[in-house]
Structure 1
């Protein structure tokens, strides 16, 4: 969260994180600190970069539920979803419907309560306070749990992209350490945050990786372990890929017209799988409402799944999925040296608008990170 001093209280991913959901009457285990306001970057409406507003008066968060923790944020990173949420794709802003459902499932409050909104999905920091139902963490822990070999700035670059890639490759795609060896994997849009993580993940599991990116990212792709690197700017990408052996798994970070031909690159009738991270799920909910949006999404993915199943390949959608156990496995891979953070640029807390502009410019090589603690 883009707040200096603390993040808004968040649900613990482990321990008693499923305990009932009843409000906690100020019961917590805490480290000493004062209840004060904190500096934050917020938005009061959806729009361009100028909607970002710095304030020193953001109310310090409190524990509401027994499975919540409060984190003193040392670093945070930006993701494309933060940019999409800032920009008003529809009247309510990208993902506003899902965001408000998460904040107020029973719709007991006004829709206006989404503002002021603090953007940011990734943090690294230190636990300050824990709800009484939290047993996996304690005040003073570096979360979640931070790999020992990484700084907070490096660690903040991993959770969102790491869990998104893990969801796509493992939970949806079915690949793991025991079955990935020798598999041919194609990653479209490989130089972004999810792509750079996914390359390292499947390489750690023994796959042969073909990465698609622009030429200036090819050195990075090789460094991360890609066996083949294809420059999508050097000619017709579809034709370049068709001359290669067929693939067992495709991760698509690009979407659009790519989906029309990418599935033809898979081995037929062998369990080969195409997973795309570019889905209309949040857009459908924003445009059609929760019920109709989910229905439309289900119809779309269902029809595409059946269509491609008859062609001998599996078609799937994947999303970011929070998971404490998966973060623990990722931390083990990092500490063993098999996965490293890929950071494009680090900004100070005062430079948050510049960081958003960097993200908006596209063509990032890894993550954009905010050093929250630095005073520069």
Structure 2
């Protein structure tokens, strides 16, 4: 989900480098980009007919949510999958709102409840993806870039003086890759 953003476009390329079949969603104006990144099947998430067509290809091993919608999106999906990985963890929001102790307790409770309900209803596990720098990951990315199997996607570039404009662009969403700030 969200194959045309910075995380989704990277995920597609990483998965394809490992010969994994990739089904991706994006808006209609990004379909060509996502196909060029290597996705095997691309669906317009705004088209209910296309989104519904995903059901014919399942069940899926993993749904990787790069849209920021989190578990709410998983509840709406009308097709079968085994794992739902989202990068939209409630961790920081709950800690900010309830403090460390109660916030962490809320996070644990939310995670357990989501998985218990999910397993009993749809049969999928909810997982939160977190980025953690690791030398092996950097080495893999470097190898893939050197072999032209991984192309960084840049949406736009701004000077440091244009930083407020860059923030506005990021906040509007629907980016095609990263926004770069040039420091010189």
Q: Same fold (TM over 0.5)?
A: yes
| Superposition deviation, residue 235 in structure 1 | 2.5
The structure richer in helix per residue is 2
CA contact (8 A) 1:251 1:276 kept: yes
> TM-score, normalised to structure 2's length?
0.90
SS of the residue aligned with 1:289?
helix
CA contact (8 A) 2:43 2:51 kept: no
- Structure 2 counterparts to residues 120-269 of structure 1, below 5 A: 188-235=1-48, 238-254=51-67, 255=69, 257-262=72-77, 264-266=79-81
The C-alpha deviation readout for 1:93-126, integer Å capped at 9, x for no partner, is xxxxxxxxxxxxxxxxxxxxxxxxxxxxxxxxxx
Q: 1:327 aligned to 121, 138, 141, which one?
A: 138
SS of the residue aligned with 1:208?
coil
Q: Residue 124 of structure 2 aligns with which residue?
A: 313
Unaligned runs of 5+ in 2: none
> TM-score, normalised to structure 1's length?
0.46
**Separation in 1, partners of 2:49, 2:109:** 32
| Superposition deviation, residue 324 in structure 1 | 2.8
CA distance 1:282–1:317, shift in 2 (3 Å): same
Instruction: Write out the 4+ residue segments of structure 1 that deviate beyond 4 Å after TM superposition.
Output: none
| Superposition deviation, residue 305 in structure 1 | 2.1
The C-alpha deviation readout for 1:337-368, integer Å capped at 9, x for no partner, is 11110000011121111111111121110110
Q: 2:83 aligned to 262, 265, 273, which one?
A: 273
SS of the residue aligned with 1:248?
strand
The C-alpha deviation readout for 1:15-54, integer Å capped at 9, x for no partner, is xxxxxxxxxxxxxxxxxxxxxxxxxxxxxxxxxxxxxxxx
SS of the residue aligned with 1:189?
coil
**Separation in 1, partners of 2:39, 2:30:** 11
| Superposition deviation, residue 236 in structure 1 | 5.2
| Superposition deviation, residue 263 in structure 1 | 7.7
User: How large is the RMSD of aligned CA atoms in angstroms?
Assistant: 1.8
CA distance 1:204–1:358, shift in 2 (3 Å): same
The C-alpha deviation readout for 1:129-161, integer Å capped at 9, x for no partner, is xxxxxxxxxxxxxxxxxxxxxxxxxxxxxxxxx
Q: Residue 71 of structure 1 aligns with which residue?
A: none
Bigger Rg, structure 1 or 2: 1
Q: 1:368 aligned to 173, 179, 183, which one?
A: 179
| Superposition deviation, residue 287 in structure 1 | 0.2
CA distance 1:328–1:318, shift in 2 (3 Å): same
Q: Residue 179 of structure 1 aligns with which residue?
A: none
CA distance 1:263–1:232, shift in 2 (3 Å): closer
| Superposition deviation, residue 322 in structure 1 | 2.5
- Matched residues, number: 181
